[in-house]
C-alpha cells in the first residue's frame, strides 16, 4: 500500500538524492549546491557549493565515510564526510579529490566496495566511462564509446562494468581484460556478446544483483528490463506510464512482507536552515525529540540505559574471565615448578651415576 510517511519541502527542485548506507544522512542536489541532512532530527548540517552548474548525481561509499558528487560542470568531487561535518558553518570544506578529466556533463556515478579504498566509476556525455581510485584520486581506466553514456554500475566482484548508452544499448566492459591499458576504445562490432540490445531510448539506470547473474535496466522508453548477464537475454520487461528515471535491486528487509510492519520512529521534517542558525521559534515548533528503542515514553528502558547495562555485563564477564585465567595460570605455574624440580633430581642422579663410573678405579 502506498502510504505517505512525510512530505518534505526542499529549498528548490531536487535533481539527485541519496541516503548513506548506515541510514544516518541524506544528500540532495539542489541546483549547484549539495544539502546534507541528519535523518534522526532533520537538522541541515551543511550546504556545499563547489560545483559551478547543476548537480546530476550523488553516491556514498559502502561504509558511509565518503561521498561523490557529479554535475553538469564536468567535475566529479570526492568528499570526506567527517571533514564536512567538522567544518565551521562559515567556511566551505574542500573536497578530497577533484576529478576534471571529463569534457562534458557527468551523468552517473557508482562506488565499489572497500570504503575509502574502493574504486569509483563515472559516466559522461563525452562518450567515456572512467574508473578511479578513491584513496589516491588516480585515474585507473578510461573507455571510449561511440555514444554518450547515461548510466554506469559495477558488479559485486568488480570484474565487469556496465554502461548504458543514449541509443538504448548496454555495454559490458571487462575490467580484467589483458593487456591492461589505461585508455581503451569499446568497438561494438568487435566486442561480440558484450552488448545488451532491447531498449529503444536512452538507458537511465543500471543495477546488478548480488550474485552477479542479473542486470536491471531502466530507460526513457518507459520500460524496465531484467537481463541474464551470461546470455544477454531479456528475461522480463516491465512497462511504465512514463520515462523511468531510477531503478535498482535491493535485498528485501526482514519485515517487508509483514502486514503489521510500520516504522517505529517517525521521520522528522527536514530543516531549511543550517543547524544552529535557525530562530528559536522555528526550532521550537519543528523540533522532534526521539528516544530510540521505545514505543511508549513511560515504559521500558531507554536505548542508552540498555547499552550501559549491556556494557556493564560484558565488562563483568570479562573480569570473571580474567580472574579465571589468572587462577588457571597459577595452577599451571605450580605444576611446571614441580616438573622442573623432578627433572633437576633426575639430572643430579644421572650426573652422580656418571661421575661414579668415570672415577671408578680400574681393576
Quote the CA–CA distance of 166 and 203 in Å, as a whole number.
Answer: 6
Beta strands at 233-239 and 44-48: parallel, antiparallel or unpaired: unpaired
Please state, rounded to an integer, the average pLDDT across all residues of the chain: 85
Decide if 216 is inside a domain: no
Decide if 47 is inside a domain: yes
More confident residue, 272 or 134: 134
Instruction: Calculate mean pLDDT across residues 123-128.
Output: 97
Beta strands at 195-196 and 149-154: parallel, antiparallel or unpaired: unpaired
pLDDT at 294 over 50: no
pLDDT at 293: 40
Domain with 14, as residue range(s), is 9-98
Among 149, 78, 170, which Cα is nearest to 116's? 78
- Structurally, how many domains does the chain consist of? 1
Decide if 177 is inside a domain: no
pLDDT at 35 over 90: yes
pLDDT at 342: 87
Decide if 306 is inside a domain: no
Quote the CA–CA distance of 28 and 296 in Å, as a whole number.
Answer: 33
pTM for the model: 0.73
pLDDT at 295: 42
pLDDT at 355: 84
pLDDT at 77 over 60: yes
pLDDT at 147 over 90: yes
pLDDT at 285 over 70: no
More confident residue, 90 or 69: 69
Other Cβ atoms closer than 10 A to 125: 19
- Of the chain, the percentage scoring pLDDT greater than 70 comes to 82
- Cell readout for 258 is 509483514
Among 213, 182, 184, 217, which Cα is nearest to 201's? 217
Residue with cell 519543528: 286
pLDDT at 329 over 80: no
Among 168, 236, 162, which Cα is nearest to 198's? 168
H-run or E-run covering 283:
helix 280-286
pLDDT at 219 over 90: yes
Instruction: Calculate mean pLDDT across residues 219-246.
Output: 95
Phi-psi region of 137 (alpha: psi -120 to 50; beta: other; left: phi over 0): left
More confident residue, 145 or 327: 145
Decide if 113 is inside a domain: no
Decide if 109 is inside a domain: no
Contact 14, 31 (CB under 8 A): no
Q: pLDDT band for 277, please (50, 70, 90 cuts).
A: low
Decide if 60 is inside a domain: yes
Q: What is the DSSP letter of 178?
A: S
Instruction: Calculate mean pLDDT across residues 292-321.
Output: 56
Question: CA–CA distance from 221 to each of 141, 240, 244 (Å)?
Answer: 30, 9, 8
Instruction: Calculate mean pLDDT across residues 201-215.
Output: 95
Decide if 42 is inside a domain: yes
pLDDT at 334: 83
pLDDT at 254: 73
pLDDT at 303 over 60: no
Give the tens place of pLDDT for each residue, 154-191: 999 999 999 999 999 999 999 987 777 889 999 877 77
Q: Give phi and psi for 346, each to the nearest 5.
A: -60, -45
pLDDT at 290: 41
The CATH number that applies at residue 64 is: 2.40.10.480
pLDDT at 251: 86
pLDDT at 300: 53
pLDDT at 163: 97
More confident residue, 97 or 327: 97
Amino acid at each position: 500500500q502506498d502510504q505517505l510517511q512525510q512530505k518534505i519541502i526542499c529549498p528548490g527542485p531536487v535533481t539527485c538524492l541519496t541516503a548513506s548506507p548506515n541510514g544516518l544522512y541524506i544528500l540532495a542536489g539542489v541546483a549547484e549546491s549539495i544539502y546534507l541532512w541528519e535523518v534522526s532530527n532533520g537538522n541541515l548540517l551543511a550546504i556545499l557549493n563547489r560545483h559551478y552548474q547543476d548537480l546530476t548525481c550523488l553516491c556514498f561509499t559502502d561504509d558511509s565515510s565518503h561521498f561523490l558528487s557529479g554535475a553538469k560542470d564536468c567535475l566529479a568531487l570526492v568528499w570526506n564526510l567527517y571533514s564536512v561535518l567538522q567544518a565551521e558553518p562559515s567556511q566551505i570544506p574542500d573536497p578530497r579529490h577533484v576529478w576534471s578529466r571529463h569534457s562534458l556533463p557527468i551523468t552517473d556515478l557508482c562506488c565499489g566496495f572497500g570504503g575509502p579504498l574502493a574504486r569509483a566509476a563515472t559516466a559522461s556525455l563525452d562518450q567515456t566511462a572512467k574508473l578511479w581510485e578513491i584513496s589516491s584520486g588516480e585515474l585507473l581506466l578510461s573507455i571510449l564509446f561511440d555514444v554518450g553514456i547515461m548510466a554506469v554500475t559495477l558488479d559485486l566482484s568488480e570484474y565487469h562494468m556496465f554502461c548504458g548508452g543514449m541509443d538504448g544499448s548496454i555495454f559490458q566492459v571487462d575490467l580484467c581484460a589483458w593487456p591492461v591499458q589505461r585508455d581503451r576504445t569499446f568497438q561494438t562490432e568487435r566486442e561480440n556478446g558484450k552488448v545488451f540490445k532491447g531498449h529503444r531510448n536512452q538507458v537511465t539506470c543500471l543495477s546488478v544483483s548480488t550474485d552477479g547473474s542479473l542486470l536491471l535496466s531502466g530507460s526513457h522508453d518507459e520500460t524496465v528490463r531484467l537481463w541474464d548477464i551470461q546470455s544477454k537475454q531479456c528475461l522480463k520487461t516491465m512497462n511504465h506510464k512514463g520515462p523511468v528515471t531510477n531503478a535498482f535491486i535491493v535485498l528485501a528487509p526482514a519485515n517487508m512482507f509483514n502486514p503489521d510492519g510500520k516504522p517505529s520512529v517517525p521521520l522528522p521534517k527536514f530543516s531549511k536552515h543550517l543547524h544552529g542558525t535557525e530562530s528559536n521559534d522555528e526550532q521550537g515548533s519543528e523540533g522532534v525529540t526521539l528516544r530510540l528503542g521505545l514505543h511508549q515514553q513511560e515504559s521500558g528502558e531507554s536505548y542508552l540505559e540498555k547499552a550501559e547495562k549491556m556494557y556493564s555485563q560484558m565488562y563483568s564477564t570479562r573480569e570473571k574471565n580474567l580472574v579465571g585465567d589468572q587462577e588457571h595460570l597459577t595452577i599451571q605455574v605450580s605444576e611446571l615448578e614441580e616438573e622442573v624440580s623432578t627433572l633437576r633430581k633426575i639430572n643430579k642422579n644421572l650426573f652422580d651415576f656418571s661421575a661414579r663410573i668415570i672415577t671408578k678405579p680400574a681393576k
